[in-house]
Amino acid sequence: MTIKQLEQKANEIREDIINMLVAAGSGHSAGPLGMADVFTALYFQVLNHKPKNPDWPERDRLILSNGHIVPVRYAAMSAAGYFPKEELLTLRKLGSRLQGHPERRRLPGVETTSGPLGSGLAQAAGLAYAARMDNQKFRVYCICSDGEHDEGNHWEAVLFAAKSKLANLTAIIDRNNIQIDGHTEDVMPLEPLTAKYEAFGWHVLDIDGHNMKEIIDACHHAKSIFEKPTVIIAHTIPGKGVSFMENLPEWHGKPPSREEAQKALHELRTLGGRIRSEHE
């Protein structure tokens, strides 16, 4: 896919997220919309995977630590061919494979069950360590939120990965500066985040999380680092693409109403039209 085609796909994934949330009547809006570009890049350009054979042993592993943003993962997986798009509208329904947090045993292609924040990087580090022990060549990617850096067990994993020189591990931080109680720098300041990771022994890349080329280039750059794990700090806009959601902490954990969804979809379709025009 070209960069413009990837941008168009990310916009379509944002539309799917809105439709999923309004059908569910619950769920998180800001984070999934903000990470649509990253997940599009991963599923359509970066990951070595086979949607029709989700348990392929040589696949790259993608761990979602902040599981509440899983609508974006479901939408990207569906677009990539893991399951039919119609199933997206079962989000959070009783008996659905698409629960509010991903469950490993329900949906092929989901590597771990996530829920407790701060746990994903430790799981990813364990997978990366085991891969090296078994001489496996797959890479492990871990999506983390900035807010879950408030959890101590996340930093234990940061230490372990650096000490173990897990160069096959890439963490991607959704640096959107909000969490459920407000802005991260008011709740528990994280800056200087780059300097902290460097001090802990990681290779750090700082990117625009909505620039498709920067996302892809950073993931490829990480493959050239052989002596330490890499963290990509992806600066994103929570609620990206929907003007009345962008940068507002109150949209962290609520879905749009039907009226708000119509307004959001209108904005996204207008944006999609502009992307198509540029592509043509």
Tell me the CATH number at 108.
3.40.50.970
- The answer, as to whether pTM is greater than 0.85, is yes
Q: What pLDDT sits at residue 136?
A: 98
* Structural domain total, the chain: 1
Q: pLDDT tens digits, residue range 27-43?
A: 999 999 999 999 999 99
| Model pLDDT, residue 274 | 83
Structure tokens at 28: 């998180």
Please tell me the predicted confidence (pLDDT) of residue 148: 97
Tokens of 21: 């949330």
Q: What is the dihedral of CA 141, 9, 11, 149, to 10 degrees?
A: 0
Residue ranges in 95-203 assigned as alpha helix (H): 120-133, 152-163, 184-187, 193-199
pLDDT of residue 252: 96
Q: Which amino acid is at 118?
A: G
**What would the two tokens of residue 168 be?**
């096959």
Whose CA is closest to 238, among 38, 34, 37?
A: 34
pLDDT of 272 reads: 86
Residue 59 confidence (pLDDT):
98
Q: What is the pLDDT of residue 279?
A: 61
Task: Answer yes or no: are the C-beta atoms of 166 and 116 closer than 8 Å.
Answer: no
Which two three-digit tokens encode residue 204?
């750090």
Identify the domain containing residue 197 by its residue range. 3-279
> Please, which contacts does 196-200 make with residues 24 or more away whose CB atoms are closer than 8 Å?
197/158, 197/231, 197/233, 200/155, 200/158, 200/159, 200/162
Residues of the chain with confidence (pLDDT) below 70: 279-280
